[in-house]
Structure 1
Amino acid sequence: MYYIAKRLAFYVLAAFVAITVNFFLPRLTPGDPASTIVATYSTSLNAESLAALKAAYGLTDEPLLQQYLTYLGNVLRGDFGRSLSNFPAPVMAVIGAGFGWSILLGLTSVLLSFVLGSVLGAIAAWRRGGWFDKLTPPVLLFLGSFPYFFLALLLFYVFCFKLGWFPMGNAYSSVNPPALNLAGVGDILMHLIAPAFTIVLVSLGPWTLNMRNAMIGVLSEDYLTLAEAKGLQPRRVLLSHAVRTALLPNITALGAAVGAVFSGQLLTEIVFTYPGLGYSLMRAVSAVDYPLMQALFLIITLSVLAANFFVDTLYVLLDPRVRTGGEA
């Protein structure tokens, strides 16, 4: 418990620093969002109209410290102001519309990549030197060397446009989200397959190679040789001892991958017009929507911290050495 409490304190401090930087960074740059919007759209406004615009967007001339304290209170309440590009919709309403879709696409692709990569890497290491070991990691790494947008465009053109196997965009066929019945879930899954497959295909190589290398190191340990000498079945030695230990580096990478769900799939969401947070971030940048950009950047940062704290906690359960060292 001491180890977990110490890590929790560290991540709470890191979250506070992230919130502080998220507040001060845009305010220390020249100009302000309202003036930027006026210049962008060439709108002719007098001083009174500009003041009214700033008030509508929640931009005040209060001292910076007072603004900061107000911002901290708003963040704790989940209030990030109103979106400039979707005015007068609140920022959290805009984020809420895409949050679930990003979670669905991101977690599906990350977990599939983690499971498939770990399994393929374990098999390659267990049968090292064979045809599977010689063929699988190089092929997957070659596919992973392609940029996200290139592979996404290629798969979109072949499977969605030419063959028509999958829908060409969005997360569902109807105007409104479908009901959670068999037909609705099937429609959502059909729209999910192409973008998720793109992310899995690009990211599968590193997962496989990391697991293979970790497994080869573990298989040379003396305790595995002793387990085999005692007559344990090879499958039990592989699953109960080797895989469990070799998974630790991949679990560390899993925390970073889960944390990067919202940012790492940006280009994939754009290509497939998938209505997640990555697509929302692209639109916010294009529209110079400062409140929405700030909220999205903060969510991405906090998600990375939360995922890494989850991994640190999971480490305690998987590796007793971490727990012992923490309590010592």
Structure 2
Amino acid sequence: MHAESIMSQSHLQAGSWMKDVANSGWYDYIGAILACTLKAVTEIVTFKCNVMIHCSDGWDRTAQVSSLAMLCMDPYYRTQAGFLKLVQKEWCSFGHRFRTRLALGDAPTTEYSPVIVQWLECVFQLLQQFPDAFEFTDDALLRLAEEVFTNRYGTFFQDNELERSHVVAGTLSLWSALLEDSQTWQNAGYKAEQMRIFPSVCQATYGIWEAYWFRFHARGARLKPAPLPPSERTAPSPSSLAPSPEVTEDPFAPDFLEGPSDHAEPSLFSPAELIPKAKAAPPPPPLFGDDDEDVFAKHTKRGDKSLTEEAT
């Protein structure tokens, strides 16, 4: 990883970090992912077409593009709670192979690949391009990028939900920890508007995720903001902690993209985690429902299995 290679850089030497990054093609991949996202968003929003997103296996680039497209089209997923639900739904529940890709508890294999970190940097690029469209800051991305490797929470254990279900009962949830400390990653300039965003894919608009790549360097220490004293901290935004609104209209009507939808999404959190602490305007409603019956799900005598398990 480039964050580790920069540890050896000295202020007395030029080093080769920029060359190493260029040789890795990291930002070429970032551009390819954003370009694919832009194509999907354009097809759905502009041309009112259906889009199927599927890579060779369905647990790497598929999750990257689908979740980025939802961030661009649905303002609900740009709220604090909505973003956590998006990660849970598109990455954890759909079976991204955290254990294999990040070598969690195992020696790295040829299948090691920081796919989730790559996606988090794509989200970082969106935050840079549309700073007031997100209720969360890049502090949330940095926390996720760190915790996927620590094994402190059961949220990212194993390679799919079936394997995770055997161990998650004795672990803590990262989502609960983040919601309890939501004021530390809340964007003060957030504007809750019903808008779609179209990412720029030009590398001239990219910024370096310095808080992540330089976190092992002396420069990284200067990039970390000092924590606010308790007297200056604000309460968590009720708009991000409130549960999704009830269904009031058909989300699959022909013109459902012409205006905001009230399609409800099943909660991934306990009621105690979603109780707002003050009255405020409701969050932007989600456009994408996750409670539709999967007509392609396979069933065997061993019980129901997810598509991810069937694929593996």
TM tier, smaller? under 0.3
TM-score by length of 1: 0.24
Larger Rg: 1
TM-score by length of 2: 0.25
